[in-house]
Amino acid sequence: MNRLAVDLPGLKLKNPIMPASGCFGFGQRYAEFYDLDQLGAIIVKAATLEPRTGNPTPRVAETTSGMLNAIGLQNPGIEAIMTEKLPWLQQRYPALPVIANVAGSAEADYVEVCRQIGTAPNVKAIELNISCPNVAHGGLEFGTEPEAAYNLTKACKAVSQVPLYVKLSPNVTDIKVIARAVEAAGADGFTLINTLVGMQIDLKTRKPLLGNRTGGLSGPAIKSIAVRLINQVHHVSKLPIIGMGGVMNAADALELMMAGASAVAVGTANFSNPQACPDIINALPAAMDQYQIKDLPSLIDEMAVNPA
């Protein structure tokens, strides 16, 4: 038996580790470093209805124990993704489950992208990005208000041909309220957390380091917040969670799973170590032995009965 295997709605994973959206592109550059079939799944870069050039530069800045980014959902648009990016993955990695991240500026944009992208043969689930803090319109506007989150989730679920996971924002007063609204709208699962809004100033120039002024804080600095919010959502919903936020090694991944996640996405670690995901996958069995974990389904069941 594969002790790392996990089954989620739409996703039969040989292991629980996948790159987070926005930190891995569409896999093409990382495929130069290792066989992507080692991954449990891949969450590809956000897709919007029209191409986006993103925010002004500079877009990335290093921080203490992490990084700030304000990419602004730069992507080639749904047409190019459907005709170029997803077919590239399908041809080379037909067995690799793809989770498509969907973003937009208005509800109609989200709905149309969900309608199209769910028809790709290798897209097994959609990650509805209602929580991006780095765009002027959309994203966070939908993720911080329960009624807006409910309406958008319901509309996208109605046209999606694959299970719908909703990406929750940590930039809220009470994440449990948003989670309940999303579940009531028919979501199949959650992903969390997205980045936190942050800002850093260059003391010499007296100006923000990012061209967008603010950006999303990620990396080890936010892991404790991720653990807390994953556990809060786990307490109020039985929907599966793909957890993310500050994961750098196998122990971090197990900690998020003990908080309530069923699988784990790795983000910022990919920038400092292109082999981060396979390294974590390879280290998981020894880490599980260290903490007397027979297999991941038993850990997930244990945490469901005895929440952290």
Q: Which positions are annotated as active-site residues?
A: 132
Tokens 């309608």 belong to residue: 115
b vs e for 218-227, b when ≥16 Cβ sit within 10 Å of the residue's Cβ? bbbbbbeebb
Cβ–Cβ contacts within 10 Å for residue 167, how many? 28
Q: How far apart are CA 2 and CA 174, in angstroms?
A: 37
Report the C-alpha gap between 111 and 128 in whole angstroms. Answer: 10
Give me 177's structure tokens: 């309220």
Strands (E), 146-219: 164-167, 189-192, 196-199, 201-202, 207-208, 214-218
Q: Which residues contact 115 (CB under 8 A, 6 or more apart)?
A: 159, 160
Buried b (16+ CB within 10 A) or exposed e, 177-202: ebbbbbbebebbbbbbbbbbbbbbee
The residue with tokens 């005709």 is 83
Closest CA to 128 of 147, 95, 150, 145: 150
Measured in Å, how far apart are the chain's first and last C-alpha atoms?
A: 27
Sign of CA dihedral 179, 191, 6, 160: positive
